[in-house]
Amino acid sequence: MYIRSLESVELTASLTCSDGLQNIAAAVIVDTNVSDWRKIQMQLLAKVTCRTSRLELTTSKRGVIWIDQVSLIPSDTYKGHGFRKELIHMLVDLKPRFLRFPGGTFVEGILLRNAFRWRETIGPWEERPGHYGDVWNYWTDDGLGYYELLQLAEDLGAEPIWVFNAGISRNDQVDTTAIAPFVKDVLDSLEFARGSAKSTWGSVRAAMGHPERFQLKYVAVGNEDCDNTKPFYQGHYLKFYNAIREAYPDIQIISNCDGSSEPLDHPADLYDFHVFVSEYAVHVDGDTSKGSLQASLAEAAFLIGLEVNSDIVHMASYAPLFVNDNDRKWTPDAIVFNSWQQYGTPSYWMQTFFGESSGAVIHPVRLNSSYSGSLAASAITWRDNEDIFLRIKIVNFGPNTVNLTLSATGLEAGVDTSRSAVTVLTSNYSLDENSFDDPLKVKPVKSGLASAAEEMQAMLVPYSFTSYDLALDEYGELVADM
């Protein structure tokens, strides 16, 4: 934190339980010369556990003290980069292949003056002005900024996707004739990420502790901006596209316009069919659930559809990823947390079934069942180090138990039952949810698969998502019959 006073002060920082009766940690700050802003850092070591404690700043002397930029974070964070370990470990377990940031409408703002400005989120934390996130109605000090998000993607081993403001907000936009400063701003942001440590903006990155260039290969021009209410988008897009393509020919540029029904009328490496793929989640207006099993099964069936069309769909992103339970602005979300707890919703656990899909080989599936209308299935082969697995995923989003004969034709070797397994995501009730009180009510259960074979019997319980992982020695052109 930073303090300033016209007189010498003795300031005490303490952690106190909400009842105000128990002081669990304290540190005294003595400073006799604080006429200018002074940075104060200290470590508070709690003597006991109190989940409802708060930070209190007190002084034994009456006077006027200015206090600014107060932050209280754990001393041990993920790779020392400020993120809570337990939250990032949950993210790591999803095996993300990319990180799209800084978020959707957060990029735009309801008004342009409240849009995300990358250059105001870098440098020393205390020098960042912060801004009002008017879409979600909170003030952010931008301690989680452009640099930290690039760093997080690197820590995760994920491709960073930088979504920048295209001179458009929800309610206002600049004319294309005035877009040049925005284009220059984006080029500067790319130099910050990819420029040499001797370049203007690359040197700023290096001074922050990262002399190596970030591997930034994807950018998205705006967020959900290609519609009739934003007539300047395509003109803006071409200005950004041409400037980026000239400066960084290898960067993949993503358009907001939908090219699924007809070809785009402008150049783009990828297009963002946002309402279905870039921020998928089952959400029903008026639904009070915070993420149910049933919703996760619908999402799983949707992802299976994307998986079998992976020649067209390059990326898909669940959103929102995290939500603070004390300040919910949207439901559902993948990971819920408060100051000391966290849990994954059924949608979070559903995504763990797809961690090996990227880079896998898709095989055709034939469903032959009277319940085919309530089933969705896919088959892939993937490697885990030197081991090869055939994974058959089946969603049963109906109320009936379904018995199937699984038959894989084209295997060139036997199935190793000792290394094969089955994993099931289900619960007693289709609308079951997880919570802090019962965080694992809906969670995948993995067990051995003694019956694993080229042909075997399978029983799918109602409202379930099942993955059969058959360990193979070799495989040819597989077809999975059910």
The reply to whether 365 and 456 lie within a common domain is: yes
Question: CA angle, corner 436, sides to 434 and 438, nearest 5?
Answer: 55
Q: How many domains are there within the chain?
A: 3
CATH number of the structural domain spanning residue 269: 3.20.20.80
CATH number of the structural domain spanning residue 474: 2.60.40.1180
Q: Name the domain boundary from 48, 68, 88.
A: 68
| Tokens 């697995």 found at | 389
Type of residue found at 47 = K
The reply to whether 34 and 120 lie within a common domain is: no
The reply to whether 30 and 93 lie within a common domain is: no
The reply to whether 27 and 90 lie within a common domain is: no
Nearest to 396 by CA among 345, 332, 446, 458: 458
Q: Establish if 433 belongs to a structural domain.
A: yes
Position 409 confidence tier, pLDDT thresholds 50, 70, 90 = confident
Q: Name the domain boundary from 279, 309, 343.
A: 279
Q: Name the domain boundary from 279, 304, 326.
A: 279
Q: What is the pLDDT, as a whole number, of residue 411?
A: 77
The reply to whether 271 and 132 lie within a common domain is: yes
Q: Establish if 329 belongs to a structural domain.
A: no
Q: What is the pLDDT, as a whole number, of residue 25?
A: 81
The reply to whether 85 and 52 lie within a common domain is: no
Q: Establish if 206 belongs to a structural domain.
A: yes
Task: Decide if pLDDT at 48 tops 90.
Answer: no
Q: What is the mean pLDDT of residues 377-392?
A: 91
Domain containing 60: what range? 2-68
The reply to whether 392 and 457 lie within a common domain is: yes
The reply to whether 41 and 94 lie within a common domain is: no
Q: Establish if 7 belongs to a structural domain.
A: yes
The reply to whether 42 and 173 lie within a common domain is: no
Q: What is the mean pLDDT of the chain?
A: 92
Q: What is the pLDDT, as a whole number, of residue 458?
A: 94
Q: Establish if 124 belongs to a structural domain.
A: yes
The reply to whether 26 and 114 lie within a common domain is: no
CA distance 272 to 260: 10
The reply to whether 55 and 95 lie within a common domain is: no
Tokens for 334, please give them: 């993948």
Q: Establish if 14 belongs to a structural domain.
A: yes
Q: Establish if 317 belongs to a structural domain.
A: no
Task: Decide if pLDDT at 18 tops 80.
Answer: no
Q: Establish if 333 belongs to a structural domain.
A: no
**Model's pTM, two decimal places?**
0.93
pLDDT digits (tens, 9 = 90+) for 211-238: 999 999 999 999 999 999 999 999 999 9
Q: What is the mean pLDDT of residues 127-134?
A: 95
The reply to whether 272 and 376 lie within a common domain is: no
